[in-house]
A and B are shown apart, each in its own frame.
Chain A
């Protein structure tokens, strides 16, 4: 009832007599975003340099290190836990790419606790423009792993770095039935400015975000 009322009111206000021309509307929408550089911020440096520069900007608050390949991830995690005086126990999503690694010396578990100290994950891709990580929910990638831990350590394949936000939007993972239930675009550590405008980290999501870049190829 409300549906018909709202659509009729919208059509009357727009002065439509018949059904809207879907093809013409789609063409106009596509034209708006067709100009390659229309509405995009400036850029400099290589893709990886741009990603690192954005991620480590104080406003974003991420930290980063580079390893040769994904097999270097457990070593980087061990060093991180040691440096930050954290227990040798991590939440790890049931992703075969991660579980197959050699986690000797670190206890791993799939079920994440409400106040988990450390979780380690694998990003689906990265976006250089904003220093963002993209996560897709899946049986091997639960959403809560990205939000419950205090420290979030994320591996990212540099071959999966994209230039612009739109490059992700028009890529194969976005749109159609292939779209995962949740696409989480994570840009740095959780923060809030809700008390007197002061930036404080670790509001509800991770207070620390550490990215381990590797060359997957």
Chain B
């Protein structure tokens, strides 16, 4: 799914100009940040757990060929059918073919970012199959026709007032919806019968357990199991990097995933799905299909992005990113926003189309500090900047400006002169410590104030400190 404006700067402008977006982002990411901090504070050895998480994921990525074959063998033994897809087109074709063979008219779907990545919603619609998104947030954005704006809370850009309008316009029995509780009840009523009437249920996978052939899903709403249990067919679409050696390894990662995402100890519903209905079972699917999707992952492994394949999609890097919290998810233009998205999108969509994302970062390192599997996100982002420079993708304005900066920065006397002049110049535009407008700073000041320099330049302050120390 792609945002409307083709160009990153235009999308950022639109996001910053929105009167409600910043508030909406802050409400959800602020809560997530506080809850995560509380969960981490209650676990003195959390850093050791992160080391373990990193080691497990690195071990899987380094042996992904072995684990793919082991998972396939064990999944087949449970009665599952395993499909392999090199590209997103292959994956969508396989899913649509399974749906057609099942003569499916209605498909329920439990939130899966991989599904978004491969364009599955669009492929189902193009095939004339009714798609029912069952995660509350996915339900909201399906009604709104929006792409997701966060990997854990896809509808965090919507305010309660907007949700109420959407439900009132489309639900058969929306009720009065005076508060968030009654909106959730309205969605429960609306989706209940659809869960039971679907011909096929499609889910993603949080983990693929190699030694049992099981697929692990986590939700807080319970929509995954209501999606996968009633229909005749359950289809799982999963990235090949989702493997874990055993259920024990999955448990160690679940502790990290949930704390990092929402601050809870465990999601409300953690389910291991193993094959189709067994003899005598009163419910469950007759067919169980698993589609293993590469879509650029083996290229990432070959291109120095193996560390990114450790990602368990918790969203903590988004919640702690100063850029994400100002511009929201849609401005990034890809399936995955925030720091992890800025590393993934150039790999998935190509660097020429996603060159700007590597620059949408202050390199403050917060994302790396909270990553449960210690992905060096700032380093990987710098890698894309470097590659963009080497491949000549940076526009001439950037090249000229950097050339000028290099000329000044390699002459310390000139650098000090220039920064001292800039500090004095900026103060001329300041009112009560803030700059509302200044030549060359329109890109910043159009949507927010720029703090005026409070002291002198770094070197002036450094010299003053030294004098004091004497």
Contacts and interface: CB of A to CB of B under 8 A. Distances in A.
Interface string A166-202: 1011100011110111111111111111111110101
Contacts of A179: 78, 212, 214, 272, 274
Given A2-B294, A204-B226, A7 B271 contact: no
Interface stretch (A75-83, A100-108, A118-126, A140-148): A140-148
A175 B211 contact: yes
A15 B160 CA distance: 52
B282 to A, nearest CB: 4
A188 B51 CA distance: 29
14 contacts: A2-B294, A13-B306, A29-B246, A32-B52, A40-B45, A132-B266, A138-B280, A138-B281, A169-B247, A169-B248, A181-B284, A184-B271, A187-B264, A190-B220
B251 interface: yes
B265 A54 contact: yes
Contacts of B279: 139
A114 B180 contact: no
A20 interface: yes
B341 to A, nearest CB: 20
Interface stretch (B3-11, B297-305, B404-412): B297-305
Contact of B180 (A22, A132, A200): A200
A59 interface: yes
B307 interface: no
Interface string B319-339: 000000000000000000000
Contact of B181 (A29, A185, A186, A200): A200
Closest 3 CB pairs of A and B: A205-B222, A139-B280, A9-B298
B84 A6 contact: yes
A58 to B, nearest CB: 11
Interface in B163-197: 163, 180-181, 183-185, 187-188, 191-193, 195-196
A21 to B, nearest CB: 9
B65 interface: yes
Given A166-B252, A187-B266, 16 more contacts: A7-B65, A13-B306, A59-B264, A146-B225, A170-B248, A175-B211, A181-B273, A181-B274, A182-B273, A190-B222, A190-B268, A192-B136, A193-B31, A195-B180, A197-B32, A203-B220
Contacts of B251: 164-166, 168-169
B59 interface: yes
Contacts of A33: 52, 56, 248-249, 252
A10 to B, nearest CB: 4
Interface in A8-67: 9-14, 16, 20, 22, 25-26, 28-29, 32-33, 38-42, 54, 59-60
A158 interface: no
Contact of B245 (A2, A29, A131): A29
A96 to B, nearest CB: 14
Give the interface residue-count category, chain A: 35 or more
A40 B188 CA distance: 36
Nearest to B253: A39
A115 B192 contact: yes
Interface in B334-390: none
B184 A202 contact: yes
Main secondary structure of the interface of A (DSSP, over half): loop
A200 to B, nearest CB: 4
Interface in B223-279: 223, 225-226, 229-230, 240, 245-252, 254-255, 262-279
A195 B138 CA distance: 11
B43 interface: yes
Contact of A189 (B70, B180, B268): B268
Contacts of A190: 220-222, 268-269
A202 B274 contact: no
Contact of A203 (B222, B247, B278, B283): B222
B63 interface: yes
B200 interface: no
B96 to A, nearest CB: 16
Contacts of A165: 251, 254-255, 266
A144 B86 contact: no
A54 B188 CA distance: 27
B221 A203 contact: yes
A39 B188 contact: no
A20 B279 CA distance: 36
A6 B86 contact: yes
B42 interface: yes
Contacts of B249: 29, 32-33
Given A5-B86, A197-B27, A205-B268, A166 B222 contact: no
B13 interface: no
Contact of B281 (A14, A139, A183): A139
A89 interface: no
Contacts of A14: 62-65, 301
B69 interface: yes
A46 to B, nearest CB: 18
Name which of A165, A191, A196 has the most chain B CB atoms within 10 A of its CB: A196
B49 interface: yes
Given A130-B265, A175-B247, A13 B301 contact: yes
